Chain A
Amino acid sequence: MLELHGVGYRYAGYANAVLHDIDLTLADGEIVGVVGANEAGKSTLCLVACGLAPGSIGGALTGGGLSIDGEPMAGKPLHAFATRVGIGFQNPSTQLSGVTGSVFEEVALGPMNLGLNPRETVERTNAALATLGIDDLAEREPRRLSGGQGQLVVIASLLAMRPPHLVLDEPTAQLDPEGTRLVGEALRELAATGTALLVAEHKTDLLDGLCDRVVVIDGGRIVAADAASILLEDPHLTEWGVEPPSRVRLAQAARARGLDPALLVGAT
């Protein structure tokens, strides 16, 4: 379980905090979506949740703290976070390490860095590749993959570390529709593994049907949090700079023309 209690954060060199009073709990196996306008604080929240803020990028928590499974994580070394909460970013090419000649070795990199013996490393690598369905990519060169494939390899690499929690900051932002589809499917596979997921996304379609809960961030504060099925249909979403999922938008458009939205079931 990953918990943020009353957390605020300001970047190094800036006086003002960009996150205020964040209370967020990610229970084991839970899938939580984070939505909000650009610059609302989604990315900052992701960095704080995985310990890289302030651990790697400096700055300071202006209140509260992060605990994982009841243990406060303040001051812990960065590699202690790696086995508890992994993080994936938008750009596959900067997340692939650039030191491996094959997808297999890329996914094995994390376990190797943990000092595991070859047998365990290979086991975890095979399992991660299988979960994401990319075993057929194992001998390909990471740098020649498409964006979507690259992101799958990145997620597999994170999975190989066996973290109980995984944070993904807009994993499909730089992908084409095919890549987005691949990652969307991968997220569902991930959900089935029991890994807790915190996914920040603009594309609410991806979160629809995937998340248990959704949280809305606006101006660095959580302004709404509810079950996904309820919040994604909330009419205030657009005020917060969030585009509702297409099925919701279709239903709203139908109602506006006096049509019964139920007729559109199965259209999305």
Chain B
Amino acid sequence: MSWGRFDTRTIVLIPIAIAINIVLGQTVSAALKIPIYLDSIGTILVGVLAGPIPGLVTGLLANLIWTYVLPAPFHSDYAAPFAIVAAEIGFVSGVLGQVGWFRSRPNADTARLVLGAAVVVIVLGLIGYYGFLPFYTNGTFTFFGDTSKTEPFFVIVGYLIGIGVVAAILGLIALLFVRRDLGVAYVAIGGLFCGIVSALISAPISAVVFGGVTGSGADLLVGAFQKAGSDLQTAVLQQGLLSDPIDKTIEFFIGFVILQTLSRRFVSRFPQGEKAVGLEQA
């Protein structure tokens, strides 16, 4: 496994990747007021094409430049503290790219697709049952437990969240079968993992620096969790663990599709391009 190289092509790619981060991030979050930011796609692409260290550097520089260098109207006062999270996303994408988790595995037969779907469901199930449920059902906020002591409002919110999460899972699995590409399963698990790590790292930053809010609809969730009894840090983490994995999985998937769409000639000129996208089938 290689840590990546900084050749001229990579260095030229990085500002363009950062621009993609910023333009998508600002457009999407302004248009849809939900906690799906889509502001790491450029970082992910650099990580996969050039390696983990260039990915890490891209994330770091992206947030620092967004705050300290870019002039209005693209400037953001609040991006710099999250540079570490962005760096982590770049690094994780790079590592996953190295082990081939962004490769397309097309024309998989139904058996393998079913196996892939099953693996995704099992992984999610395990994380959900042993990780999420206990975490979210502490205090008086319950999904499936005793709801008699809780405000009906929060029980409804709880179920809505549960439905939303299940819908996301189903959507992913549907994609798997629509594209008949086993690579989707790998990307899904990769995105999930990256999302969880990102939530863990960004929660303390958000809580301490920004009082846990971002100005988007996610703040309602934070409020809900806090109202239900979690302290600020936990509430932010609870919100983050719901939205970040979805956000990162969507971004990983977009990155995956883009990598498949780029011409082989283009991709192969990058230091890690061949390894990340896989060898030519034909």
Contacts and interface: CB of A to CB of B under 8 A. Distances in A.
Query: Do A and B touch each other in the complex, judged by CB within 8 A?
Result: yes
Interface of A: 11-13, 56-58, 78, 98
B8 interface: yes
A211 B124 CA distance: 69
B279 to A, nearest CB: 10
B280 A13 contact: yes
Nearest to A98: B15
Nearest to A99: B15
B8 A13 contact: no
Nearest to B267: A13
Nearest to A57: B269
B52 to A, nearest CB: 22
B8 A12 contact: no
* Chain A contact surface mostly: loop
Nearest to B279: A13
Contacts of B265: 11-13
Contacts of B226: none
A58 B9 CA distance: 12
B272 to A, nearest CB: 14
Interface of B: 8-9, 15, 264-265, 268-269, 280
B8 A58 contact: no
Given A12-B265, A78-B8, 13 more contacts: A11-B265, A12-B268, A12-B269, A13-B264, A13-B265, A13-B268, A13-B280, A56-B8, A56-B9, A57-B269, A58-B268, A58-B269, A98-B15
A157 B265 CA distance: 28
A58 B268 CA distance: 9
Contacts of A13: 264-265, 268, 280
Contacts of B280: 13
Nearest to A12: B268
Nearest to B8: A56
B88 to A, nearest CB: 28
A13 B263 CA distance: 12
A12 B280 CA distance: 12
B251 to A, nearest CB: 26
A191 B138 CA distance: 80
Contacts of B15: 98
Contacts of A12: 265, 268-269
Contacts of B268: 12-13, 58
13 contacts: A12-B265, A12-B268, A12-B269, A13-B264, A13-B265, A13-B268, A13-B280, A56-B8, A56-B9, A57-B269, A58-B268, A58-B269, A98-B15
A75 to B, nearest CB: 16
A153 B269 CA distance: 28
Contacts of A11: 265
Nearest to A97: B12
A13 B280 CA distance: 9
A166 to B, nearest CB: 20
A11 B269 CA distance: 11
B235 to A, nearest CB: 43
Contacts of B8: 56, 78
A87 to B, nearest CB: 14
Contacts of A57: 269
A98 B12 CA distance: 10
